[in-house]
Structure 1
Amino acid sequence: MLKIYTVTTCSSSKKAKEWLDEHRIEYQEINLLTDNIEKQEFLNMLSLTEEGTGEILSKRSRIYKKIATRLDELSLGELVRFIDENRSVLRRPLIVNDKCLQVGYNEDDIRKFLPRTVRRVEMANASESIRSIALGGKFKIQAS
């Protein structure tokens, strides 16, 4: 099941939840600041990053700035403990399923959470719209 880690006052979290609701995608919302989060969940997030901690940690937060110089020295266990004890250091929303992680709200990137069948239908509809515009003379392709 899709999980979305949010903070109540975060506008990006609100936009992501609205998009998920609009596309009828079931999710479990987890409040980063108040809900119980197992350390395994933080490990899972880290395992899904492409660039490591820099991808999920907010470099603008005061807490991050205090530890940034020592971040590379932390063991994995210490890093997870640090994140658990300082959850406001995490960027948000964090949207996670068993295969991928999205950090923040991006209308194009969030589409990866649509079921494949829905993405295929939307792609076919978009292609048909482009063909219709091109053949209807409303759109001209110019050679350079």
Structure 2
Amino acid sequence: MTVTIYGIGCKSTKKTRQWMIKNKIPFVERNIKEEPLTVLELQDILRMTLEGTDDIMAKKSAPYKSMNLDFDELSLLELLEIVHQHPRLLKSPLIVEGKKLQVGYNEEEIRQFLPRKMRKFQWLQLQWRTSDEM
């Protein structure tokens, strides 16, 4: 399965791209400033979150602060329409594969996108190195 990286071209998106290349993980990248997520795509991503919109909204971003909206008062559809129109309201990158979602670049969490065999192999290598150091 191919990983999809939704980003705005920020440093974290670039790190994610480099990590995927280094680990030979097939991926497609989509600049959401140029091609915003649709409301349906946003709904699909929300289904994978634990905390709903809180997980994916960039509340510290300039667009979020400048809108002077009470986002909690909006219906979900209204909120998703606004996010579609203003993609910088999203954290970046959003990394998706099947039912897996990672928000932002995190060196430990991104390993979930490695194939299981590769994760096991790396874990065994780590165990082997650790036992040699003792």
TM-score by length of 1: 0.85
Deviations 1:31-64 (A, max 9, x none): 0100253322111111111111111111112332
Separation (CA, whole Å) in 2 of partners of 1:37 and 1:57: 13
Alignment correspondent of 1:19: 19
Residue 75 of structure 2 aligns to which amino acid in structure 1?
S
Alignment correspondent of 1:5: 6
Alignment correspondent of 1:59: 59
Alignment correspondent of 1:137: none
Deviations 1:116-137 (A, max 9, x none): 1100111111111111111xxx
Residue 74 of structure 1 aligns to which amino acid in structure 2?
L
Residue 120 of structure 2 aligns to which amino acid in structure 1?
R
Provide the alpha-carbon RMSD of the alignment: 1.6
Alignment correspondent of 1:91: 91
What is the number of residues matched between the two proteins?
133
Separation (CA, whole Å) in 2 of partners of 1:11 and 1:37: 20
Kindly indicate whether the alpha-carbon contact (under 8 Å) linking 2:36 and 2:87 is maintained by their aligned counterparts in 1. Answer: no
Deviations 1:67-109 (A, max 9, x none): 5762222222112111101101111011011122111111111
* Bigger shift: residues 73-82 or 101-110: 73-82
Separation (CA, whole Å) in 2 of partners of 1:55 and 1:83: 14
* Bigger shift: residues 88-97 or 36-45: 36-45
Alignment correspondent of 1:142: none
Separation (CA, whole Å) in 2 of partners of 1:36 and 1:54: 19
Separation (CA, whole Å) in 2 of partners of 1:69 and 1:31: 25
Separation (CA, whole Å) in 2 of partners of 1:108 and 1:36: 28
Separation (CA, whole Å) in 1 of partners of 2:89 and 2:20: 24
**1:1-144 equivalent positions in 2, closer than 5 A:** 1-8=2-9, 10-35=10-35, 37-66=37-66, 70-134=70-134
* Bigger shift: residues 38-47 or 111-120: 38-47
Q: Percent identity?
A: 36
Q: Secondary structure at the match of 1:5?
A: strand
